[in-house]
Amino acid sequence: MKSFLKKVIVRTSFIVMAAATLILPVRGFADSCLDCHLELEDEAALSFKVDVHNIDGVSCAGCHGGDPASDDQEIAMDSRNGFVGAPNPLEIPQFCGKCHSDPAYMRQYNPSLATDQVDKYWTSHHGKLNRSGDEKAAQCSSCHGVHEMRPPSDPRSMVYSKNVPQTCSECHADADYMAKYQISVSQFQDYQGSVHGVALLEKNDLGAPACNDCHGNHAAMPPGISSIGRVCFQCHLAEGELFSQSPHKVGFDELGVPECAFCHGHHAVHALTDENIGVEQPSICLQCHSEGEAGYEAASTMKNEIIKLKKKYEDAETLIADAARKGIEVSDEQFELRNVRQSLINLRKLIHAFNPDSVVTTTESAMEAANEVYLAGVQSTEEVKTRRTGFLIFSVITLILVAILYVIVRKKTSYH
Ligand code: HEC
Ligand code: HEC
Ligand code: HEC
Ligand code: HEC
Ligand code: HEC
Ligand code: HEC
Ligand code: HEC
Ligand code: HEC
Ligand code: HEC
């Protein structure tokens, strides 16, 4: 009897345990928030399927609190169960920071993810405005969206490099929205047509900067005048180093003008050309240097050197191309020509040292190479001429021989 009772107890507890393991997880995973809001066809729930939080197992209640185990709307969304509802824009940074500023919590999901976004945000112009009660300044959800957030590497994310300009321009290109501030709303338009905008948005060159590459992601601030050069240096290392050692480094600091941006602009960055250097319009140098100054003389020298090499390069190129078309073997010359072209490209970098002597020295050695190619080109042209004359003489002799033959044959036939 005792053993029978024992058996019953063991069996029932086994059945109960089995049932519990089957039922409990279902109940544990059931998310009344998602279920009910899906039923309501609420946009928040509909878009949440692809949200990085949903994919990583952060539920509605993870952000909004409440009791996801209760089907009862009142109980599920009761503040006594931790429900906080929808935060207003001024509350959102702390709302996200609950998790994103907690290294211990975030490490469980992704140890490599930074947890400094909120701290950095408070140092930004946006963050300071938000703290002062200005709801118009960008906060986390302005740039990331709300229920359809994706990691920055996802091409559909609002903060994917190619989408950033559009995301920022939602406010910054909207004159009505920005009306109460004293800043322009042309950044997006200027950027869109710039070398950088065209490279990123049209040529898909992810190495070209989007707004956040210059302004930072969370510490989104205008780089102050002293750091503007630094922004460009990140990518244009060679020009940056040359500039830092140039007389302009100190000269520009004293004038209080931005390093690269004075000549190139910052949003509407365009490639400058040989026309923009020297002592004739539209040279930029004329904006600060006038006749008699060392800078003026230097501008003139540098321009002349570049033009000299450019002209020699173009002449040599024409000759070599011509020879190649006429079937002369010029692959060595074509190779040398590429070196000259590279020197010309380097020269356009080297101008950023704003040192006429270094430009002269570099041009000298490049001119030597250019001259060699040029002379080889001339020789090939001579060769073509010699070949032509040879061919002409050959043709004439052949013609004469044919004529003589003809006469002989005619004479022979006329005897008969
Ligand atoms: C049985 C249905 C139901 C359940 C369960 C439910 N909700 Fe709701 N929820 C609603 C309805 C309906 C509204 C809109 C009406 C209202 O504001 O009361 C709403 C509104 C909200 C809002 C917007 C509130 C605001 O401040 O504007 C949030 C956020 C929200 N629910 C989150 C949750 C979360 C999180 C859970 C789970 C813990 C949850 N809901 C569970 C039906 C439900
Ligand atoms: C990553 C945090 C996060 C998660 C997860 C989240 N929400 Fe929200 N939710 C927010 C924020 C932030 C707002 C306020 C955004 C705003 O209005 O700009 C908000 C607003 C809302 C609102 C108010 C109306 C609206 O769309 O702005 C509803 C309703 C809502 N959430 C429901 C849900 C439901 C249902 C889920 C789960 C399917 C959910 N949320 C998951 C952060 C979250
Ligand atoms: C309940 C905790 C929690 C809250 C609140 C929260 N998040 Fe998250 N968030 C996470 C977790 C966990 C991940 C996943 C990390 C991972 O796997 O990379 C994540 C991922 C992200 C990612 C993608 C990061 C990446 O590179 O993978 C972004 C962007 C993000 N959250 C933004 C926000 C914003 C904006 C808010 C506020 C509206 C917010 N989160 C609120 C927990 C939270
Ligand atoms: C002005 C726009 C902007 C605001 C405001 C903003 N972010 Fe971001 N956030 C970005 C951009 C851009 C990236 C992408 C960086 C990249 O390309 O790697 C990013 C990346 C992230 C990531 C991925 C990890 C990382 O640090 O790169 C998280 C998490 C994140 N943001 C959370 C937040 C939180 C939380 C807030 C609010 C305190 C916030 N963001 C406010 C623009 C913004
Ligand atoms: C929700 C709207 C909104 C979004 C989105 C937004 N901003 Fe802003 N931003 C503002 C407002 C408002 C100001 C305040 C302007 C002022 O005070 O003059 C501001 C200020 C700035 C400033 C400082 C300008 C100054 O006054 O010196 C910079 C830089 C800036 N934003 C860059 C960005 C970048 C980069 C992005 C995208 C990654 C972005 N913003 C996205 C609204 C936004
Ligand atoms: C190549 C770097 C670079 C890129 C890309 C860039 N900016 Fe800027 N931005 C700057 C610099 C440098 C300044 C500071 C100009 C100054 O202080 O005189 C600035 C200033 C600003 C300002 C302050 C107001 C103004 O116009 O001077 C805002 C707002 C701004 N940028 C927004 C943006 C937005 C939005 C984008 C993307 C569409 C963007 N920036 C892309 C470098 C950049
Ligand atoms: C994130 C990297 C990055 C930053 C930061 C950056 N650039 Fe660029 N820049 C590029 C790339 C990539 C190109 C090549 C675009 C192309 O021609 O396809 C480029 C092209 C240029 C060109 C045209 C060069 C030519 O003749 O072809 C100029 C001029 C230029 N950048 C100036 C600047 C200035 C000035 C700044 C700072 C205000 C700056 N860049 C910041 C990456 C960057
Ligand atoms: C005093 C005006 C001036 C300043 C300052 C200046 N540049 Fe230039 N930059 C030019 C001119 C002029 C050219 C075109 C030269 C040519 O084609 O002959 C040029 C060409 C370029 C080019 C294309 C040629 C190359 O180098 O590959 C890049 C990139 C560039 N500059 C970047 C920068 C960066 C980065 C800075 C800041 C460190 C800077 N520039 C500062 C005038 C300037
Ligand atoms: C924003 C004003 C500004 C522009 C534009 C400018 N410079 Fe200068 N430059 C200066 C200042 C300031 C100095 C330092 C004081 C001085 O020597 O005149 C200087 C000095 C120089 C020097 C050194 C002169 C010496 O004393 O040995 C050279 C070389 C030079 N600049 C060349 C150029 C060239 C070439 C251009 C055009 C591509 C140019 N600068 C454009 C402001 C400018």
Q: Does residue 90's CB lie within 6 angstroms of at least one atom of ligand 2?
A: no
Instruction: Report pLDDT digits (tens) over 247-281.
Output: 999 999 999 998 899 999 999 999 999 999 999 99
Predicted confidence at residue 337, as pLDDT, reads 95
Residues with CB under 6 A from ligand 3: 52-53, 56, 58, 62-63, 92, 95-96, 98-100, 109-110, 113, 140-141, 144, 149, 151-152
Predicted confidence at residue 66, as pLDDT, reads 97
d(C-alpha 321, C-alpha 409), whole Å: 48
Predicted confidence at residue 26, as pLDDT, reads 41
Q: Does residue 86's CB lie within 6 angstroms of at least one atom of ligand 1?
A: yes
Residue 35 CA: which ligand is closest? 1
Residue located nearest, by CA, to atom 40 of ligand 8:
260
Q: Does residue 348's CB lie within 6 angstroms of at least one atom of ligand 2?
A: no
Residue 260 CA: which ligand is closest? 8
Predicted confidence at residue 25, as pLDDT, reads 40
d(C-alpha 54, C-alpha 31), whole Å: 12
d(C-alpha 158, C-alpha 151), whole Å: 9
Max CA separation in the chain (angstroms): 151
CA 197 – ligand 7 centroid, Å: 10
Contact call for residues 137 and 130 (beta carbons, < 8 A): yes
Q: Does residue 260's CB lie within 6 angstroms of at least one atom of ligand 2?
A: no
Residue located nearest, by CA, to atom 39 of ligand 8:
260
pLDDT tens over the chain, length 416 residues: 456 656 666 565 555 444 544 444 444 457 999 999 999 999 999 999 999 999 999 999 999 999 999 999 999 999 999 999 999 999 999 999 999 999 999 999 999 999 999 999 999 999 999 999 999 999 999 999 999 999 999 999 999 999 999 999 999 999 999 999 999 999 999 999 999 999 999 999 999 999 999 998 997 676 665 566 678 998 999 999 999 999 999 999 999 998 899 999 999 999 999 999 999 999 999 999 999 999 999 999 999 999 999 999 999 999 999 999 988 899 999 999 999 999 999 999 999 999 999 999 999 999 999 999 899 888 888 887 888 888 888 899 999 999 999 988 888 877 65
Cα dist from 257 to 12, 203, 226, 261, whole Å: 84, 31, 9, 8
Residue 228 CA: which ligand is closest? 6
Predicted confidence at residue 229, as pLDDT, reads 61
Predicted confidence at residue 263, as pLDDT, reads 96
